Amino acid sequence: MKSVILYYSRTGKTRFLAEKFQQELGGDLVEIRDLKKRKGPFGFLRGARDAHLGLNTEVAPSGFDLSKYELIILGTPVWASSPTPALNTFLQTCNLMDKKVILFVTSRGTGYRRAIDILKGKVEAKGGKVVGVGSVKTWLRGKKYLFRAGVELTKLWKTDIS
């Protein structure tokens, strides 16, 4: 099954997990970049406000052809109990008709359920079918923990998609 892992990462923790998922599951790896400045505390606060309001942002790649993929894995941090503006934009512009989708979020440990519910609704509105979800608490966690969490999630997902 041809797959792609698309993710947005501000601090690198979501990127680390996406790379681990690629090692475990294979497939292409594509970073969704937010073209708005989100660095530093003020960038984060503006981003959290935009996420809470469900706003979009300018991203690169601005369009991505998913037609050659059967499985789409989407990852994002949780900001203000919501998906990031970068992932909102990507989901607004992509075609997920008849695609299997796995969602994963990274968070401080709160708000992730709401963020997953929002993402699931957006995926289903685009014709995709969510076949797996996962969340990883990243607050004060090191790479060893993230590595183990990534391995555990891929084990679960392998059974979901087989």
pLDDT of residue 80: 95
103 alpha carbon, distance to own chain's centre? 6
pLDDT of residue 60: 92
SS3 18: helix
Taking 80 as the threshold, does the pLDDT of residue 160 lie above it?
Answer: no
- The token duo for 27 is 């497939």
Q: For 53-80, what is each residue's pLDDT tens digit? A: 999 999 998 778 999 999 999 999 999 9
pLDDT of residue 140: 81
pLDDT-derived band of residue 83, with 50, 70 and 90 as boundaries? very high
**Sequence ranges of the domains in the chain:** 3-161
Q: Which CATH number fits domain 3-161: 2.30.30.100, 3.30.450.20, 3.40.440.10, 3.40.50.360?
A: 3.40.50.360
Taking 80 as the threshold, does the pLDDT of residue 150 lie above it?
Answer: yes
The 3 state secondary structure assigned to 45-77 is HHHHHHHHCCCCCCEECCCCCCCCCCEEEEEEE
Q: At what angle do helices 40-52 and 85-93 cross, to 10 degrees?
A: 50
Q: For 127-148, what is each residue's pLDDT tens digit? A: 999 999 999 999 888 889 998 9
pLDDT-derived band of residue 157, with 50, 70 and 90 as boundaries? very high
- As a whole number of angstroms, the distance between CA 112 and CA 94 comes to 23
Taking 80 as the threshold, does the pLDDT of residue 161 lie above it?
Answer: no
Taking 90 as the threshold, does the pLDDT of residue 162 lie above it?
Answer: no
Q: At what angle do helices 143-161 and 13-25 cross, to 10 degrees?
A: 40
pLDDT-derived band of residue 109, with 50, 70 and 90 as boundaries? confident
- As a whole number of angstroms, the distance between CA 12 and CA 112 comes to 18
- As a whole number of angstroms, the distance between CA 49 and CA 47 comes to 5
Taking 80 as the threshold, does the pLDDT of residue 115 lie above it?
Answer: yes
User: In one letter, which amino acid is 35?
Assistant: L
